[in-house]
Amino acid sequence: MKTIDQDYIENKFIEYAKLNTRSEMESNTVPSTARQVVLLKKLEQELDNLGLKDVSYSDKDAYVVGRIPSNVTEKITPIGFVAHVDTADFNAENIKPQIHHHYDGTDIDLGHGYTLSTEEFPSLKKVIGHTLITTSGDTLLGADDKAGIAGLLGMAKYLNENSDIKHGDLWLAFGPDEEIGKGAARFDVERFPVEFTYTLDNGNPGDITYETFNAASARIKIKGTVVHPGEAYGLMVNANLIANEFINQLPSDFVPEKSKDYQGFILVLSNEGNVDHAQIDLIIRSFDTGDFKAKKELVKGIVTKLNAKYGKKRVTLEMHDQYHSPGDKIKKHPYVVNLAKHAYEKLGLPINYVPFRGGTDGDFITEKGIPTPNLFNGGANFHGRFEYVTVENMVLLTKTLLTIASLHVDLDKKRDNTPLRRK
């Protein structure tokens, strides 16, 4: 591998980080905010500049896609990489990225009264000597996921200028609204003809995520019967008390405060009411499809029991799935993860299978038929003022992507389909 253009990656990151691309949950437009289109259009132009083919932006899904054409004569299965342009629900106005050359491992005064301290964030010790990029204390940085974008462009630039790395067709996609869980759900994958793809969203070098939560939300409504309390004997039915009865039947250990790693939970978000009516809102999270179904059945079962006890129509349930773990589908295509694992090994990275305790763009893209694990973008402390990334980690991402592209040429016809494990 020749030298990767580190300055280009750094400059692109800084340029894009300064743009406010915050998404907005309450909006119904595509994308949720017009300011995201500014960056999407810049990326469309950049892909053109870097010699990609079939570059296009669609108003319908607000994704920019493009293809780095294969430089080998044999037919290699096309693969893809995806990053998102929006940033989380935190101040993104006037972002001023601060560059700290040769970071020395000490605390950093961000400004606005905030300190990035090594005691609070020991991961800083891993980036001593790096070119560290932080916020100025009053905004987020947007390394989530502009570090992914910069690393990906680094690969495109390298392949445009060098021919030493052999690769098949590589498709790139940049999309909106990941942070509000809407972007990838709209992605028209007809525009993205790949067999599998990787998101480059969060995570440390060496992380691979192919399992996320399965998620559902439920609303339970309860109707009571109000009569004057003095004359209530045998007549009053108190909706508050039925709500409590419902909650008491939920498993007491299956709660967020007792749940980590591969454990899920049921979280009662709210429980409000009076004698006449009550309403409970809850969410269900589980890594395992079977357990996820069982927990939904459990909720249904409690509703059925309460209705039998108090009379048919007192308790109603609305429950719907929010997103699904890509785990079961990716396990059927273990090569997708094993290819990334071999690339990490080649670069001497540690290999960490990380269960993601939330949802990702990969959940939606996998559901559309394209297995999509997540790799990393090399930043940390996402979604707030303590966010940081280093140029070296973004360059490492570029190296990882180039290695995946090159290994895939060797392995495509003799795939490592060793079943996936969690450790």
Active-site residue set: 86, 178
Supply the minimum distance, in Å, between the C-beta of residue 360 and Zn ion.
8
CB atoms within 10 A of CB 384: 14
**CA pair distance 245, 409, nearest whole angstrom:** 59
User: Total residues at the site for Zn ion (CB under 5 A)?
Assistant: 3
Supply the minimum distance, in Å, between the C-beta of residue 361 and Zn ion.
8
Give the residue with the Cβ less far from Zn ion, 169 or 177.
177
**CA pair distance 189, 61, nearest whole angstrom:** 10
Site string for Zn ion, 257-296 (x = CB under 5 A): ----------------------------------------
- Interacting stretch for Zn ion, rule CB under 5 A, among 89-97, 105-113, 140-148, 187-195? 140-148
Q: Which runs of consecutive H residues, i.e. helices, occur in 18-120?
A: 35-49
Give the residue with the Cβ less far from Zn ion, 296 or 385.
385
Q: Which of 55, 78, 82 is closest to 193 using CA atoms?
A: 78
Secondary structure letter of residue 231 according to DSSP: G
With 0-12 / 13-18 / 19 or more C-beta atoms within 10 angstroms meaning exposed / middle / buried, residue 404 is: buried
Give the residue with the Cβ less far from Zn ion, 23 or 403.
23
- Interacting stretch for Zn ion, rule CB under 5 A, among 21-29, 197-205, 212-220, 286-294? 197-205
> Residue 286 is encoded by which pair of tokens?
């589980």
Q: Which residues pair with 212 in a beta bridge?
A: 356
CA atoms within 13 A on the CB side of 17: 28
- Interacting stretch for Zn ion, rule CB under 5 A, among 198-206, 238-246, 326-334, 367-375? 198-206
- Interacting stretch for Zn ion, rule CB under 5 A, among 199-207, 228-236, 398-406, 414-422? 199-207
Give the residue with the Cβ less far from Zn ion, 145 or 392.
145
| Contact call for residue 144 and Zn ion (CB under 5 A) | yes
Burial of 338-374, coded b for 16+ CB within 10 Å and e otherwise, reads: bbbbbbbeeeebeeebbbbbebbbbbbbbbeebbbbb
| Contact call for residue 207 and Zn ion (CB under 5 A) | no
Give the residue with the Cβ less far from Zn ion, 36 or 238.
36
Q: Is 61 annotated as a binding residue?
A: no
Supply the minimum distance, in Å, between the C-beta of residue 185 and Zn ion.
15
CB atoms within 10 A of CB 389: 32
Residue type at position 7: D
Burial of 49-83, coded b for 16+ CB within 10 Å and e otherwise, reads: ebebeebebeeebbbbbbbbebeeeeebebbbbbb
> Residue 23 is encoded by which pair of tokens?
């998404």
> Residue 111 is encoded by which pair of tokens?
């400004």
Q: Is 383 annotated as a binding residue?
A: yes
Q: Is 201 annotated as a binding residue?
A: yes
Q: Is 272 annotated as a binding residue?
A: no
Q: Is 211 annotated as a binding residue?
A: no
Secondary structure letter of residue 419 according to DSSP: P
| Contact call for residue 387 and Zn ion (CB under 5 A) | no
Supply the minimum distance, in Å, between the C-beta of residue 372 and Zn ion.
14
Q: Which of 9, 354, 306 is closest to 209 using CA atoms?
A: 354
Residue with tokens 């109000």: 226
What beta strand segments (E) does 274-332 contain?
Answer: 277-286, 315-323
- Interacting stretch for Zn ion, rule CB under 5 A, among 123-131, 195-203, 271-279, 404-412? 195-203
| Contact call for residue 201 and Zn ion (CB under 5 A) | yes
Site string for Zn ion, 146-185 (x = CB under 5 A): ----------------------------------------
| Contact call for residue 145 and Zn ion (CB under 5 A) | yes
Give the residue with the Cβ less far from Zn ion, 150 or 218.
150
Known binding-site residues for Zn(2+) equal: 84, 144, 179, 201, 383
Q: Binding-site residues, please?
A: 84, 144, 179, 201, 383
* Footprint on this chain of Zn ion (rule: CB under 5 A): 144-145, 201
